[in-house]
Amino acid sequence: MLKVGNFYPPIYYFLFKTPLGWCGVVDSTKGVLRVEIGYPGREPLLKKIVNRFGNRLVNDGVRGDLVNGITRYFSGEKVLFNCAMDWSSLSPFQQKVFKEAMKVPYGTAVAYGNLACRISCPNGSQAVGGALSKNPFPLLIPCHRIIRGDGKLGGFSAPGGIALKRKLLRLEGVIPSLKEHRVKIVRRK
């Protein structure tokens, strides 16, 4: 974390309820640190944030535009998220994967292997999946749009797991029904 003089600056957070569960945004002076989605209640979400960031937390209406955008997204609106993110805790490989994943358009899905090829790592589908499993910015970096090469959904590390991933893809129109388990993959060179 960024240290200023002899102290660490506060970290701001805001929790809010959406149609798909409780969400939280955690913010620093450098940008968004984390986005948490899909929690069944406020208390488990707050506990996770406090455990991660400790006593420097300040409850504040951080980035109202981001909170508003997430709320609109969960209401079914196509939203383009454009805000500063604090990438300082991410490895160069994670940054490369996340920046490429950000290019996957709303309403489409791309295979892990296809994303690996886009970053010049043709045999790296598992490494891409591993990086995406640690995504601190779900929705901003739409890791839910990255699926297995056979059209199955693969994993999702947010609370609710694969069921939440399916709901997000359904919300975007990628999956026509919540009962479907395979998705059409968009392949780009």
Task: Render pLDDT for 85-97 as a digit per residue (tens, 0 to 9).
Answer: 999 999 999 999 9
If phi > 0 it is left, if psi is from -120 to 50 it is alpha, else beta; for residue 49 that is alpha
What is the pTM for the complete model shown? 0.87
- Provide, rounded to the nearest whole percent, the portion of the chain with pLDDT above 90: 72
Across 145-172, average pLDDT? 93
The domain limits of the chain are 11-74, 92-171
- Three-class SS of residue 182? strand
Alpha carbon distance 73, 79 (integer Å): 6
Catalytic residues, which ones?
143
Read off the pLDDT band of 4 (50, 70, 90).
Answer: very low
Which residues neighbour 12 within 8 Å (Cβ) at sequence distance 6 or greater?
26, 27, 28, 57, 58, 59, 60, 62
CATH architecture, domain defined by 11-74: 2-Layer Sandwich (3.30)
DSSP letter for 7, please: B
CATH, domain 92-171, list 3.10.310.30, 1.10.490.10, 3.30.450.40, 1.10.10.10: 1.10.10.10
- What Å distances lie between residue 144 and 9, 49, 118, 175, CA to CA? 32, 21, 17, 12
The number of beta carbons lying within 10 Å of the beta carbon of residue 101 is 23
Q: Is the model's pLDDT at 110 over the cut of 90?
A: yes
